[in-house]
Amino acid sequence: MEFPDGKRYNSFAGYYRGRYGERLQKLVVDAGFTCPNRDGTVGRGGCTYCDNAAFHPGYSSPSMPILQQLDEGITFHKVRYRNAGHYLAYFQSFSNTYAPLPVLRERYFKALEHPEVAGIVIGTRPDCADDDKLDFLADITGGRALPGWHRDLASGRINAPIVMLEYGIESCYDATLERINRGHDFQCARLAVEAAAARGLDVGAHFILGLPGETRQMLLDQCSIINELPLTSVKFHQLQYVKGTRMEAEHDAHPEDFLDLNLSDYLDFAIDILERLRPGLYIERIAGEVPPRFVKEARWGLIRNFEVLRMLDARLEERDTCQGRYYSGL
């Protein structure tokens, strides 16, 4: 099998580079949204693992205008990603479709005013994207919502923004979703993915590896469920115990319910998962980073995500394997 950038898996960075001719770097935007699992609509207190402050950078703050956040994000990333051609405004914090359409329109369109922004990535919950909102997103990427908008990318002129919808699914098992106080079941996630894909939207999904009660075999079996979903991309994060969360307390009380893999074991397990995923599914992440000050212990030390990816590439070579090795089709 041949994958972008000579890797042994289908990298999402390679997907963007192949499709648009350049690197597209995400810039995290906090647009001041909240979550129905916090304000009482679905529940209160949020998911048991969640402290949103641990998952977004310092340049992203709801007190700062969106265009200023983007400017500061570009300044920040130009040091690390000097080859980025354009940027994607990543609405990440909380549930970024959880507002009336006029509010979403104002905030998304504001980000798309930035001359270096080629599109938006919207992180949200499966129960926060109704038909009207999905139709609106389809109108944006279909060129109907912003006539006259364009950007000149390396591959040529695009006349409509790139739109990616990223759902936090976290687990395919209802018992797990209930235990982590997620506030929706897996069927809700399945229907949300199908509804977005039916409108031609690129759909990503986020999963956490190591949630309480889930075994290695359950996570391997989950791959066949993921393969059935009409997803463009998938993102995996290892479970991290953020200080002050209910998940931290649960782990302290019942450590036997958690996998707690060291880095070497996690890399091998991530490869076991990659081998079972369909080759056409783009892999955006296999691990995440939380600043050390937010966790009781940095179990992997201070290793950065880009170093984890280098180690993954090396381990794939050592095992002489690749994404989709054991995928047999639907």
Q: Is residue 60 part of a domain?
A: yes
Residue 110: the pLDDT is: 98
Residue 211 has pLDDT above 70, yes or no: yes
| Closest to 125 (Cα-Cα) out of 63, 34, 64 | 34
DSSP assignment, residue 230?
A: -
User: What gap in Å lies between CA 169 and CA 137, rounded to an integer?
Assistant: 20
Q: Which two tokens stand for residue 137?
A: 């997103």
Measured distance CA(110)–CA(187) in Å, rounded: 33
Query: Bridge-partner residues for 282, per DSSP?
Result: 233
Q: Let me know: does 200 contact 248? Beta carbons within 8 Å.
A: no
Nearest Cα neighbor of 150 from 178, 176, 117, 172 is 117
Q: Assess if residue 118 is contained within a domain.
A: yes
Give 290's pLDDT tier (boundaries 50, 70, 90). confident
252 burial level (CB within 10 Å; 0-12, 13-18, 19+): exposed
* 185 secondary structure, DSSP code: -
Contact 283, 9 (CB under 8 A): yes
Report how far residue 35's alpha carbon sits from residue 84's, in angstroms, rounded to the nearest whole number.
31
Global pTM?
Answer: 0.93
Per-residue model confidence (pLDDT) at position 288: 87
The residues near 102 (Cβ < 8 Å, ≥ 6 apart) are none
Could you give the CA distance from residue 24 to residue 173 in angstroms, rounded to a whole number? 33
Least trusted range by pLDDT, from 58-67, 280-289, 306-315: 58-67
pLDDT, position 330: 45
Cβ–Cβ < 8 Å for 55, 87 = no
> Does residue 57 lie within any of the structural domains?
yes
Residue 329 in domain: no
pLDDT > 90 fraction of the chain, expressed in percent and rounded: 75
pLDDT band at 306 (very low <50, low <70, confident <90, very high): confident
In a domain, residue 228? The reply is: yes
Residue 48: predicted pLDDT: 85
Residue 267 CB partners (closer than 8 Å, separation 6+): 308, 311, 312, 315
Closest CA to 35 of 166, 125, 170, 168: 125
Question: Which are the contacts of 94, defined by CB distance < 8 A and separation ≥ 6?
Answer: 33, 34, 35, 38, 52
Q: Please give the residue range of the domain that contains residue 14.
A: 4-319
What is the average pLDDT across 150-162?
96
Query: 173 versus 81: which is more confidently predicted?
Result: 173
CATH number for the domain spanning 50: value is 3.20.20.70
The total number of structural domains in the chain stands at 1
Sheet holding 117-124, edge to edge: 23-29, 84-91, 117-124, 162-170, 202-209, 233-238, 282-285
Confidence of residue 63 (pLDDT cuts 50, 70, 90): confident
The partner residues of 168 in beta bridges, in order of sequence, read: 206
Instruction: Please name which of 56, 15, 73, 8 lies closest in space to residue 284, comparing C-alpha atoms.
Output: 15
The rounded distance, in Å, linking the Cα atoms of 23 and 154 is: 9
pLDDT at 61 over 80: no
**For the CA atoms of the chain, what is the radius of gyration?**
19
Per-residue pLDDT band for 43 (boundaries 50, 70, 90) equals confident
State how far Cα 179 lies from the chain centre: 21
How far apart, in whole angstroms, are the C-alpha atoms of residue 214 and residue 176? 7
Residue 305 has pLDDT above 70, yes or no: yes
Sequence-ordered strand ranges (E) for the chain: 23-29, 84-91, 117-124, 151-153, 156-158, 162-170, 202-209, 233-238, 282-285
